[in-house]
């Protein structure tokens, strides 16, 4: 937000956008850190997954959804999708008068402090891998040697409710083998679906590899940005009673019933009353 821009209403909601369901891990982390904040979540499930689309397609779809959130009066935009962050972050920060938080840069900053050897892996979608966004994020940290591995099937497993078992472990072993051969000591979960696979990933990699969740780091960055800009929700409502929990609104371009079913499977009863957006 530049000095000549009008300050957003601190009691307006936070807008969270994702191509589908992975961003719900960001929403859950934001709720944990900012429970009093109102949130509008928009998942573009009708056109997901973004990870298989061209950067131009992702840019077009993401900006359309972000425009809608801004029209709804949000005070900040959280791009809770690595593929979308790769495609539109610079455009979004120039296009909107509200602060824009992404998932890539916060995870990169955390990684610089976490790695002991500089040997870092990132697992992500094909679109994020092709964009080389994480390479760009570490351009000012020449001590980081990055190994990128696209893991497209992980999204399918998560959305099918599969977060363990022999088939998933077999696929994960194949994906992780090049990273283990590179002797990484830190792994960035570069897709917001992947924090739901922390169990099998930790099992296969062992305690010597630190996992950095782009979802958790994005939530921390959201808290820090809103605090720095004095945009946190007003502590007390008009009646003088402190609100314990913010309101959450869910929109999807796909089927609302399917969204609610998968959403509840992923993060529980935080997801309810999903609305259609087209």
124 is catalytic: no
Beta carbons of 233 and 47 less than 8 angstroms apart: no
Q: Which residues pair with 250 in a beta bridge?
A: 41
CA 171/CA 174 separation, integer angstroms = 5
Residue 55, φ and ψ in degrees, nearest 5:
-60, -40
Residue with tokens 């472990």: 169
Residue keyed to tokens 């609100």: 243
Structure tokens at 183: 């002797």
- Active-site annotation holder among 65, 124, 151, 191: 191
Angle at 35 between CA 194 and CA 247, to 5 degrees: 100
Q: In angstroms, rounded to a whole number, what is the distance separating the alpha carbons of residues 86 and 16?
A: 16
151 part of the active site: no
Integer Cα distance of 156 and 193 in angstroms: 9
- Identified catalytic residue from 81, 124, 151, 218: 81
SS3 string, 221-268, reads HHHHHHHHCCCCCCCECCCCCECCCCCEEEEECCCHHHHHHHHHHHHH
- CA 39 – CA 105 distance, rounded (Å): 22
Q: How many residues does the chain have?
A: 278
Active-site positions read 81, 191
């Amino acid at each position: 937000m530049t000095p000549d821009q009008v300050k957003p209403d601190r009691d307006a909601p936070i807008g969270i956008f994702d191509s589908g369901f992975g961003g719900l891990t960001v929403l859950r982390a934001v709720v944990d850190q900012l429970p009093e904040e109102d949130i509008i979540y928009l998942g573009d499930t009708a056109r997901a997954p973004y990870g298989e689309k061209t950067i131009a397609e992702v840019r077009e779809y993401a900006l359309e959804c972000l425009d809608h959130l801004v029209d709804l009066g949000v005070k900040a935009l959280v791009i809770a999708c690595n593929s979308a962050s790769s495609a539109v972050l610079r455009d979004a920060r120039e296009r909107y008068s509200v602060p824009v938080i992404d998932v890539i840069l916060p995870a990169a900053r955390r990684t610089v402090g976490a790695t002991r050897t500089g040997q870092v892996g990132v697992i992500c979608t094909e679109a994020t891998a092709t964009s080389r966004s994480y390479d760009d994020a570490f351009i000012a940290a020449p001590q980081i040697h990055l190994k990128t591995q696209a893991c497209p099937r992980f999204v399918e497993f998560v959305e099918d409710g599969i977060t363990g078992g022999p088939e998933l472990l077999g696929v994960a072993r194949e994906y992780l083998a090049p990273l283990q051969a590179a002797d990484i000591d830190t792994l960035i979960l570069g897709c917001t679906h992947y924090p739901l696979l922390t169990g099998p990933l930790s099992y296969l990699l062992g305690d010597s590899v630190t996992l950095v969740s782009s979802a958790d780091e994005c939530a921390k960055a959201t808290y820090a940005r809103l605090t720095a800009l004095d945009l946190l929700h007003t502590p007390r409502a008009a009646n003088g009673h402190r609100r314990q929990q913010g309101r959450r609104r869910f929109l999807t371009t796909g089927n609302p019933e399917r969204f609610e079913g998968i959403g509840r499977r992923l993060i529980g009863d935080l997801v309810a009353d999903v609305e259609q957006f087209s």
